[in-house]
Amino acid sequence: MFTAKKETPQYIDDLRRARDTRTNEKTEKKAAIIIQRALQQFYHRNAVIKSLRDDIDICLKAEPPNGLELFHSTRKLLFIDKKGKDIKRFDAVCGVILRSMAEENVKSWYVSVAMNKVFAVQWIQQIKCVLQLVCEHLKDIKPDTAKGRSRVEVYLEMITIFTDYSLWKMAAKRGQSLRPILSQLCTNVTSHLVEKGMYTSLHNLLLNGLGCPHPGLTKVTLPAALALRCLSLCGLPVHMVTLFVNNMLTVPALMLHLNNMSPETCDQLKSIKILQHILVVLVDKPECHQIVFKSLNGNRALSLLCNIVHLVHLEKETIQPAELDRVMVVASELLRICFEKSGTKQSSHTTWHPVFGWFEQKSDKRYMEAMCHILKQLDLLWRREFVSLLFTPLLALTPAAEPSTTTIKKGASKSRLQKFKLFLSNISSSNNKLPSDIERRILNACSFYQLCMKCLPSSRMDFLTCISYHGDVIPKLWYFLGTLTKLNAESLSQAISNTKFEQQIDAFRLFCQVACHLIVVLDDSEFYEKEEPFRLSDLVELSHLLNHVAFHLIWKVPKSPVRDDVLHDCLLLHSVLYARDSRRQFCPDNFWLIKDLKFSAFLSEFRNKKERALKLLTELPQILPHRNRVELFRERVKTEKKALGIIREGDLPAPSSYITIHRTRLLMDGHDQLSTLTSKSLKSTVKVKFINEQGLEEAGIDEHGVFKEFLEDIVKEAFNPDLNLFKISSEGRLYPSPTSHINPHHLSYFEFLGKLLGKAVYEGIVVDVPFARFFLVQVLGHHHHTLYSPYDELPSLDPQLFKSLQDVKNYEGDVADLMLTFSWEEEFLGKLIMHELKEAGSLTPVTNENRIGYIHRLAHFRMYTQIKDQRLSFVRGFRSVIPQEWLLCFSAPELQRLISGDNVEMDVDDLRRNTEYYGGYHSSHRVIGWLWDVLRRDFSKEEKSAFLKFVTSCSRPPLLGFSHLQPKFSIRFVDIGEDQDSGDTVLSVMKGFFSVRRQQSDVRLPTASTCFNLLKLPNYGKRSTLRDKLRYAIQANAGFELS
């Protein structure tokens, strides 16, 4: 079944092994022959190369050099080293070639070989090859080293010599006969180098040499690296100018270094009119424009922009208006390229760039290292000379002089205002003329600077500072805007959506931004007395325009990016002017109100939470009457109370919190018990039970009156400067004490007082607590505004310090002589404490250059930093009751009115309409009639305020009138010795009505219970007696204790 496997005979295996052995031997012999041949070739080649190198070395050592032998030696070098790896010999050959060109002997000249018909063609090919290798080597050289610097000098001289025949001695000795030939020869060589990437090599060389904090190129090598002779000798052809722009002008800070190292080269650039040729390439030649702009990334575009700007700066005396327009076109496109690459925030795809912020491209290290020089060039954009250059037609305007007046009249002339309104005028008119050349150039400049601030956000403040401090730009821009007749406020929505008027919108925005930047730093003497740069009458007109335009944009114009930008700039300037007017009025009364806005329509949209109504109340509240805004505030309170269940329908009891206060520990008990209440509990009814000095509970039920009494007593104690929680300013107003920290629990008390004051405002209880304006600004949160300046508020705190800082600001000598430092010293508990206004401030002297910073830092420290912790605690407590957004519609003076009542004269008729009577008095009672008649006819405004303070503890009436006084004002009949009259019996009412009463009192003084807003009035027999007793009582501040 199974068969055995046949075995292979032994001799067959032996034969196979023998055959394999013979085959291997043959292969080894063949390989040995190949290796021997390769070795022989290698040794022979090396011998030949060595021989050639020896020949080259001998030729290089020859003195003087022989042109023909140098040609053959160079040929040998190129034969054995086509790629130029033998750098040492290649450099030596280049050096000898240059040395030969300086010899007097014709036979020594390397270029003399070109005159030999036998070798002419070979020489041309050779010099092209040599110069091409020179360009290749230039790419990688580091010119910041000594060795690299010497090589760069040799290579650049090679390119310079053999692309400009005028540098050859042959051209000088042979006269004019050879010049056409030599010119053609150099042009041929130059064209070859350009074709093979000479400009790319020079670009890399310049980038390596200038892309660092300290330039590696010298005043010799830098001009040579530009290859300007090549450019000019070829007649500045378009393709070479394109390469020059794309490779030379994209090197960071090239023109800056060139101007510093070689001013004569800058003169040469001006002589060949390089700027004009650049503008032709970038504006008039679409194909060249496309080549350049397609190759640009963010850093290259920025460098090109800066170098072009520098060229404009160098030619500022001779540049023509048409050229300036083309410059702005090119610069604007470069800015847009930069802006497209900038990111909005940090991400894995962005890197930080000092000019663009977060940048979407990886930045070349060499550009980043040269950024300090780029920034210097960028400074030219906002330098006074450059601004003057771009705004030349604007500065040439000569507006007609108008009579100056500082008197504010309600019916002030509207001529200038109407002109200015025409800036936003008649867009729909079909008869609009095209702008004149002057208008077009001014609008171009405005649009350019608007684009600069958009694309270079880190430099925005520099632009605004330069333009605003240029003495003539702002007033003449104001005049220019008044002459435009392109737009109309009623048709602004069409202007915003119509690109035809984009430049006019840019001009308006620029004016708003620059004027805002300037006005915010003007002190009161400059603004109100000197009236620089605006007259007060101009500011009134401008405020009127901004008020109406802002309202129009919010209320009538649909949302869009352009509308939002215009509105933002308009509101910034508007807020600055309104803040000035709120602090020190320069506009007429009721100036900011918009009569076209119907409050009923606004209220309807506000209740429906329409966006434009909410924005109007937040951004432009002053266009509504203050009373309406207070009504909105009270409505918000009422709505919230309903939502929290504090106000309930029917007879359901409202939630209440009870606190027990010892008369002897008023502030401590109030702090301990109210601080534990939640925000909701604090907004609910808080009922107070007093414990008297004997430790007994006082009788009575709190129906809001006792809490008001508690509030009044707390206010008197807590805001007393002797407690050192608050201090009194020079104007007699309260602000947190910087030294309150001697009480370890002071911050807790500030938070408690913030809650208590918030509760008073929430309930509409007016308290007579006059706060300093700067503190109210901080309570509102307006100090966070970028345009807020604590320096403006300093006089309300420390007028002496303000005067001293004014002297420093206006000091005409060297401020360093005053020996001031960035520090502030004050005495505390017998010790002198130093506060540094900045890091190492005590070691930083105040100089003419930094004094503005010193002034604002010191004002910020005194009004903000010193009381920061106290303010934060107070505001935290206040906002736990009153949300911040509810207060955005009030200014600082209006918040004071919300706290302490209206500052208008007391309305006697309004008080009479809202008075309740007890103890037999009624509205027709003889004594009551006398009382109202005395108040109306005999009492002055100050006496009326004193009467109001006598009966309510506050000298000001409630904001919405006496109908909102809590509790209601009441008058109670008292007889001799009847302080405890319960009143209101039927018999007492009838007796009072019929004048049948207990005996008259001509001795007793009127008294009051301010916690109940109650006047206790005896039954006087004469009107004159009532008048005299009442006047005496209010002047003596009579209360419970005086009778």
pLDDT digits (tens, 9 = 90+) for 1019-1041: 888 888 888 888 888 887 543 33
Residue type at 648? R
Q: What count of Cα atoms within 13 Å lies in the side-chain half-sphere of residue 274? A: 29
Inter-CA distances, 524 with 516, 519, 576, 709, 857, Å: 15, 10, 13, 42, 18
Average pLDDT across the chain, whole number: 82
Single-letter residue type at 312: V
Describe the chain by its helix, strand, coil percentages, rounded to 5: 60, 5, 30
Lookup: tokens for 245:
């722009």
Greater confidence, 653 or 160? 160
Return the minimum-mean-pLDDT range out of 314-323, 778-787, 824-833, 910-919: 778-787
For residue 585, how many C-alpha atoms fall within 13 Å in the half-sphere facing its CB?
Answer: 10
* Tokens coding 355: 């000019």
Active site residue 1011: yes
Tell me if residue 878 falls in helix, strand or coil.
helix
Q: Model's pTM, two decimal places? A: 0.78
Answer yes or no: are the C-beta atoms of 776 and 878 closer than 8 Å: no
Q: Each residue of 584-609: pLDDT tens digit?
A: 889 998 899 998 888 888 989 988 88
| CA 982 to chain centroid | 66
Name the DSSP class of 821.
B
The DSSP secondary-structure symbol of 708 reads H
Q: Is the peptide bond before 967 cis (omega within 30 degrees of 0)?
A: yes
Taking residues 762-787, what's their average pLDDT? Answer: 83
Give residue 942's pLDDT. Answer: 85
CA–CA separation, 1014 vs 1003, rounded Å?
20
DSSP character at residue 1008: E
734-736 and 726-728 strand pairing: antiparallel
Mean pLDDT of 155-180: 79
Task: Check residue 525 and report its DSSP letter.
Answer: I
Q: How many whole angstroms from its chain centre is CA 135?
A: 47
pLDDT value of residue 809? 86
Q: Which of 165-174, 487-496, 599-608, 951-960 has the highest mean pLDDT?
A: 599-608
Neighbours of 271 (CB within 10 A): 9
Residues paired with residue 1015 on neighbouring β-strands, in sequence order: 971, 1008
176 exposure class (CB count in 10 Å sphere: 0-12, 13-18, 19+): exposed
CB 177: neighbour CB atoms within 10 A? Answer: 8
Condensed to tens digits (0 to 9), the pLDDT of residues 952-980 reads 877 778 877 888 787 788 999 886 444 44
Cα–Cα dist 750/875, whole Å: 8
Report the candidate in 210, 217, 275 with the shortest Cα–Cα distance to residue 241.
275
Six token digits for residue 669: 């008990």
User: Helix (H, G, I), strand (E, B), or coil: what is residue 65?
Assistant: coil
CB 1007 within 8 A of CB 1038: yes
What percentage of residues in the chain have a pLDDT greater than 90? 20
Token pair 């109309």 is found at 488
Q: Which amino acid is at 1034?
A: I
pLDDT at res. 410: 40
Tokens of 83: 């790629």
- 970-1021 confidence digits (pLDDT tens): 999 886 444 444 334 444 444 444 444 445 556 788 888 877 788 988 888 8
Establish how many alpha carbons lie within 13 A of residue 230's alpha carbon, considering only the half-sphere containing its beta carbon. 28
pLDDT for 112 equals: 85
Rg of the chain over all Cα atoms, to the nearest angstrom: 45
Quote the percentage of the chain above a pLDDT of 70: 87
Pairing between strand 969-974 and 1014-1018?
parallel
CB 542 within 8 A of CB 577: yes
Average pLDDT, stretch 385-407? 71
719 near 668, Cβ under 8 Å? no
Q: Residue written as tokens 């390397």?
A: 110
Question: Token pair for residue 367?
Answer: 């550009």
Q: Provide CB contacts within 8 A for 896, sequence distance 6+.
A: 770, 771, 773, 776
Among 79-93, 252-266, 554-568, the range with the most confident prediction by mean pLDDT is: 252-266
* Cis geometry, peptide bond prior to residue 180 (ω within 30 degrees of 0): no
Rounded distance, CA 183 to CA 166, Å? 9
- Residue 101 tokens read as 């060109």
Q: Does the pLDDT value for residue 388 go beyond 80?
A: yes
Question: CB under 8 Å to 85, separation ≥6 — which residues?
Answer: none
Do 565 and 623 touch, CB atoms closer than 8 A?
no
Report the distance separating Cα 225 and Cα 153, nearest Å: 9
Query: What is the per-residue pLDDT for 425?
Result: 44
Question: 661: helix, coil or strand?
Answer: strand
Active-site choice (135, 212, 587, 1011): 1011
- Res 643: pLDDT: 86
DSSP designation for 104: S
pLDDT, tens digit, for every residue of 916-953?
998 888 888 889 889 898 888 888 888 888 888 888 87
CA distance 996 to 988: 9
Average pLDDT over residues 218-238: 86
Give the mean model confidence (pLDDT) for residues 828-836: 79
pLDDT value of position 510? 92
3-state secondary structure of 783: helix
Contact 950, 712 (CB under 8 A): no
- E runs forming strands in 778-901: 823-828, 831-836
Per the listing, tokens 């056409």 go with 180
Q: How far is 718 from 753, CA to CA, in rounded Å?
A: 8
Distance CA 837, CA 790 (A): 14
Which pLDDT value is given to residue 832?
Answer: 80
Question: Residue 493 has what pLDDT?
Answer: 58
User: Tell me: the pLDDT tens digits for 674-723?
Assistant: 888 888 888 888 888 888 777 787 765 445 557 777 887 888 888 888 88
Two tokens, residue 880: 């736990």
